[in-house]
Structure 1
Amino acid sequence: MENKKIEQAYQNTFSGLTMYYRDCELSEDLVTRYKVDQIIQERGFTDISNQAEGLAKNVRFAIASNSASNLGEINPDVAKYGFHLIPSGAYFKVLDIYKIEHKTQIMLMHFNEAYLEIFNSTKSNIEDKIVLVGRKSLDTKIVMQPHSILNNEEWTARTADPIGMSKTGTFFL
C-alpha cells in the first residue's frame, strides 16, 4: 500500500477528532461479540452526544470522529442532548474494550469508507493514544452521577441499540 494513501487516510481521519458518547443496556452476549481491531459498519444513523458523565447503562460507546453533524445547530430542541449524528453507512474500527466492574466501554474510531482497506490492515500509534484518552475519561466519569437528560426516555430510546449489529447480534458487515 502506498505511503501517500496511508498518510491521506490518517490526516483525514485523525485531524480534529472529537469524542462522542452513546450509552445503552446490552446483554453480555452482544458485548462479547465486539473484538479489538474489528471493522464494523452501522447501517442506520448513529445518534451520539458530546456530553458524558456517569454511566446509568452497562455499555458506553466512546466514538472518536471528526465528521459528526451537530443537530443542535439545526434543531434547538435537541441541543440539550448535545445531539450529534453520524450518517448511515458509517464505518468504525473497534480500538478498545475496557471493563470496570460491570460497566464496559467500547471505543470506536469513525472513518471514511474510502479508507476501509487501510484501517483493516494497519494500526497507528494515534489509535493507541485515542485508547489512552478514552480509558482516562472513563476512569474519571465512572464515579460521577449519570447525566439526567441523557437518561430520559426519549434519548435512551434513540440510543438503545448496539452499533454495527442487529439487536440479535448479527453484524451488518
Structure 2
Amino acid sequence: MDNTKIEQAYQHTFSGLTMYYRDCELAEHLVTRYKINQIIQERGFTDVSNQAEGLAKTVRFAIASNNASNLGAINPEVAKYGFHLIASGAYFKVLDIYKIEDKTQILLMHFDEVYRDVFNSTTSNIEEQIIQVGRNSLETKIQLQPNAILNNEDWTERTKHPIGMLDSGVFFLNN
C-alpha cells in the first residue's frame, strides 16, 4: 500500500478526534456479532452525545470521530443531550470490545470511505492509544450515576438501535 495514502488517512482521521457516546440495550447475540478490526457501515444517521457518565444500559458505543455535527448549536432544544450527528453512510472500524461485569463498551473509530482499504489492512499505535483512552474512560465512568437526560424516553428511542446492523443482527456491509 502507498505510504502517502496511509499518511493521508491517518492525518485526516486522527486529527482532532473527539469521543462520542451512545448507550443502548442490545441482546448478547448482537454484541457478539461485532469483531475487533471489523469495518462496518451505518446506513442511517448516527445520533451520539458528547456527554457520558454512568451506564444505565448494557452497551455503550464509544465513537472516536472528528466529523460529528453539533446539533445543539443549530437547535438549542437538543443541546441538553450534547447531541451530535454523524452523517448517514458512515464507516467505522471496531477497535475494541471491553466488558466490565454486565456492561460492554464497543469502541468504534469513524473514518472517511476513501480510506476503507487503509483501515481494513493496517493498524497503528494511535489506534492502541484510542483503545487505552476508551478503556480508561469506561473504568472511570462506570462508577458514576447515569445521566438522567441521556436516559429519558426521547433520547433512548433515538439511540436504541445497534450501529452498522439491522436489529436482526444482519450487518449493512458485507466485509
Indicate the TM-score class for this superposition, using the shorter chain for normalisation: over 0.9
Identity among equivalent pairs (%)? 77
Task: Provide, for residues 129-170 of structure 1, a one-character-per-residue CA deviation record: whole Å limited to 9, x for no partner.
Answer: 000000000000001000000000000000000000000000
SS at match of 1:106: strand
1:3-82 paired onto structure 2 within 5 Å: 3-82=3-82
Measured in 1, the distance between the counterparts of 2:145 and 2:74 equals 29
- Name structure 1 gaps, 5 residues minimum: none
Measured in 1, the distance between the counterparts of 2:94 and 2:5 equals 21
SS at match of 2:47: strand
Measured in 1, the distance between the counterparts of 2:124 and 2:85 equals 26
1:109 alignment counterpart: 109
1:167 alignment counterpart: 167
> What is the RMSD computed on CA atoms of the aligned residues?
0.3
TM-score normalised to the size of structure 1? Answer: 1.00
Cα drift, residue 73 of structure 1: 0.5
Task: Provide, for residues 35-93 of structure 1, a one-character-per-residue CA deviation record: whole Å limited to 9, x for no partner.
Answer: 00000000000000000000000000000000000000000000000000000000000
2:125 alignment counterpart: 125
Cα drift, residue 172 of structure 1: 0.2
Measured in 2, the distance between the counterparts of 1:113 and 1:28 equals 29
SS at match of 2:61: strand
Matching residue's letter, 1:163 = I
Measured in 2, the distance between the counterparts of 1:56 and 1:168 equals 23
TM-score normalised to the size of structure 2? Answer: 0.99
Aligned pairs, number: 173
